[in-house]
Structure formats: structure tokens, C-alpha cells
Amino acid sequence: MKQLIKISQVKSNPNNPRLIKNDKFKKLVKSVQDFPEMLELRPIVVDENMIVLGGNMRLKACQEAGLKEVWIEVANLTEQQKKEFTIKDNVGFGDWEWDMLANEWDAEKLDDWGLGVWKNDELSNLNEYEGLDAESKLDKFLNAELKRMFLVYDNETFENVIEWFNNQQQKHELENHSQVILKLMENENI
């Protein structure tokens, strides 16, 4: 049964294998502040000892946002079910329909909501190369303050590459995939 309780009664799960760092955590805190009604619709799941099974990062974000109360749902599960729930609650089985997102959704809002997507301004600089000969394009690129690199993969390989980058970024508390590449280039053992 869902209930609203003092946030101080809820305990983080010390065995939670999920992390959220830096920019993504700030976005989660902002999400809690901007849309607190969602917390009632998606309560934190706790066990009989008030230890979080699902929603550790939301609890942390709620604490950071200064909330005094939080919605919870108490689950009566075996120890094995608790472990299983902790993992399954965070697994994303589905895939995003990127064409629909690109054509029917606002990229800035999606990014604010935590779904990192491309933004039109990231591609707008490519237009400045139109009409230039190869030597002028190379010169413009070499003298640009920011450089871009595009890699093309089939869907399965792309998913594996992104998963690897995300894991490395989280593991080493880096802010983006570019920093992962720089670590690789520095021959650091990551």
C-alpha cells in the first residue's frame, strides 16, 4: 500500500549496485523539483525494514532537493526476491524509437528529463562546410575550436559500444564519452 512518510524513515540500500553521478544526478534532482507529483505515481519501493529496493537514486535526489516526505510502497518479499527486484527495477528491456523522438519530441526537454539525445545545434555547424573545396574544409576543420568525429555502427554494435562507454564513464566518474576516449588515448588502464 502506497503511503507518504518522513524521508528520514527511509534507508538507502547499502547493497544497491546502481550509481548516478554528476550531471545525470543534477538532472534527477531538477526532475524531482520540477515534477514532484511523479513521486506519488512512482513511489520508492522499500522492504519491511524501510530499506530501499527500488528508487535509491530517487531517494538521494529527494534528499538533495530538501524534501521532508516521500511516497513509498512496502514490498513483502523473500531475500532472493529483494535482490532480484533491486536489479530488475533498473533494467531497461526496451529500445527508444529514435526517429519518433527526433521528429515528434522536443530534444531540449528530452535532455532535461534525462534522456540524452542529439540537439539540432550540434549539427548546425556542419552547414558551414557546404560549398567549400576539400582544402578549405580541412583548413576550417583544423583551425576550429571544437572538432567532431562521427563513427557509424550497425544497431547491435552501436548498443554494445554505448553500453561500454556508459560503464566506463560511470566507473571512472567522467562527465562524458569524450573523456573516456581521452583516457584511452592517454594509454590509461581503464
pLDDT 10s digits, 66-112: 999 999 999 999 999 999 999 998 887 777 787 788 778 887 888 77
- pLDDT range class, residue 118, cuts 50, 70, 90: low
CA dist 83 and 86 (Å) reads 5
**Phi (first) and psi of residue 4, to 5 degrees:** -100, 125
CA dist 184 and 165 (Å) reads 11
Check pLDDT > 70 for residue 188: no
- Per DSSP, the three-state class of 131 is coil
**Maximum separation of any 2 CA atoms in the chain, in Å:** 69
Q: How close are the terminal C-alpha atoms of the chain, in Å?
A: 44
| Least confident span in 33-42, 98-107, 117-126, 162-171 | 117-126
CA dist 56 and 17 (Å) reads 10
pTM: 0.61
Please, what are the domains in the chain?
Answer: 2-88 (3.90.1530.10), 149-190 (no CATH)
